[in-house]
Amino acid sequence: MHIDQPTLFAVTAFAAAISGLMLLFGWLQDRSSATLAWWGGGLLLVVGGTGLVVLRGVIPDEISIVIGNAVQLFGYGMLWTGARTFEGRRPRIAVLLVVSLAWMVACQFDFYWTDMPLRIRVSATLISSYLLLTAAEYARPKNPELVSRWPTIFILLLQAGGVLIRIPLAEKLVFPAPENSFTATLVPLGAAGLVLFSFSLAFLVMAMSKERLVLEHKRTALVDPLTGVANRRAFFERGERILRRGLADGDTAALLMIDIDKFKHVNDTFGHQAGDRVLCAFCDTAARVLRPTDVLGRTGGEEFACLLPGATPAEAAAVADRIRLEFEQCRLDLGAVRPTSTVSIGVATTVDVGGSLAALMGAADRALYRAKANGRNRVESVGALKAGALSGPAADHPAAQPPWGAGMRRDDARAAPGARPHGGDAADPGRRDESAVA
């Protein structure tokens, strides 16, 4: 069957250009997604450069060979740049310019200008390098949860393999392709590959952008925007899940209800910005004390809850008092004064009240109000420690020491001989970053 090459390429170029325009349109709708602009512009340049190369013999060789390949290379470089910006890495425009300019300079030498197989091999090497670099960017992702990156990597590797085939076949490739020649038989395959490449990657790049946007919105919905810890909804979702898993394995768990003492007085005296700083300072303090398995969440204005998977009553009380002591020593500079903020903490464990998160919170809340009534800046526990408030001198009692030893941070605990972990396998929402509710 006879295939009219100009018509075939015109259809292919039109289809690929539509993909590039779709990406640019997507970028116009969401200017924050710069990757769509890089990919859209890159595909258009790839199509334009390829068109100039294919038109060799119709247009001057200086435009077809020199300009066409330089434009095509820059377009593939833009795809790589789009992948870099998507993963939060800095664009390297200088690399794109150097590669394209190097091609144009090389074409000024006779040994290169007159050797078509050499030019084909160099072009194939550069293009495949860009494609492999693009795949490598997506292979070390900022958001590993994105499902669309895997087919994207596959298509990029497939296209790179198709380009590399030109290297051993360079002597047999002739442009423009004569009728019934080896090159002419490859033209339909090349056209189909370009269409597949442009359409599939345009769809996948847009899918990745949408996936990441949905993921960011989900994370935002589960994170307290001020402190960066889990919000009430996230704490309940993660807490219930971790508690069920731990109880199924026969583990204990503890819950701390924490309230910053006289927080209204801080707001009224120093202003709401000072109050915000106190809240953030508390979360930073708690994050230094808690282990990665513990779940910290902001459940109200100045109220926090912390679930300690695997903790015994004694361990939970010790961790609570360590938080209290650390925060009492934290003094914020609020202008002319550096006031001391304190917390009251109520502790309840599954040993005392069973395995319901609601029951744990209720019991810990009652212990918290008892700590408030007994003078604040103290820890009150239900069950075995019900009568003991771990504050001041009581913290020096061996039972009041954190399970990883007095004076030790959570990172030191991992190397401490005899240290008993009190956590499960959940991520640490006490840290002020997005992993808080992952």
Distances (CA, A) of 167 to 57, 91, 183, 192, 330: 22, 29, 14, 20, 66
**Which of helix, strand or coil describes residue 130?**
helix
Crossing angle of helices 263-270/272-289, nearest 10°? Answer: 140
302 is catalytic: yes
- What is the rounded CA–CA span in Å between residue 170 and residue 159? 17
- What is the rounded CA–CA span in Å between residue 354 and residue 369? 20
The catalytic position among 137, 302, 315, 380 is: 302
- What is the rounded CA–CA span in Å between residue 57 and residue 159? 27
Tell me if 344 sits within 8 A of 371, measured CB to CB.
yes
Tell me if 104 sits within 8 A of 49, measured CB to CB.
no
**Which of helix, strand or coil describes residue 306?**
strand
Task: Give catalytic residue positions.
Answer: 302
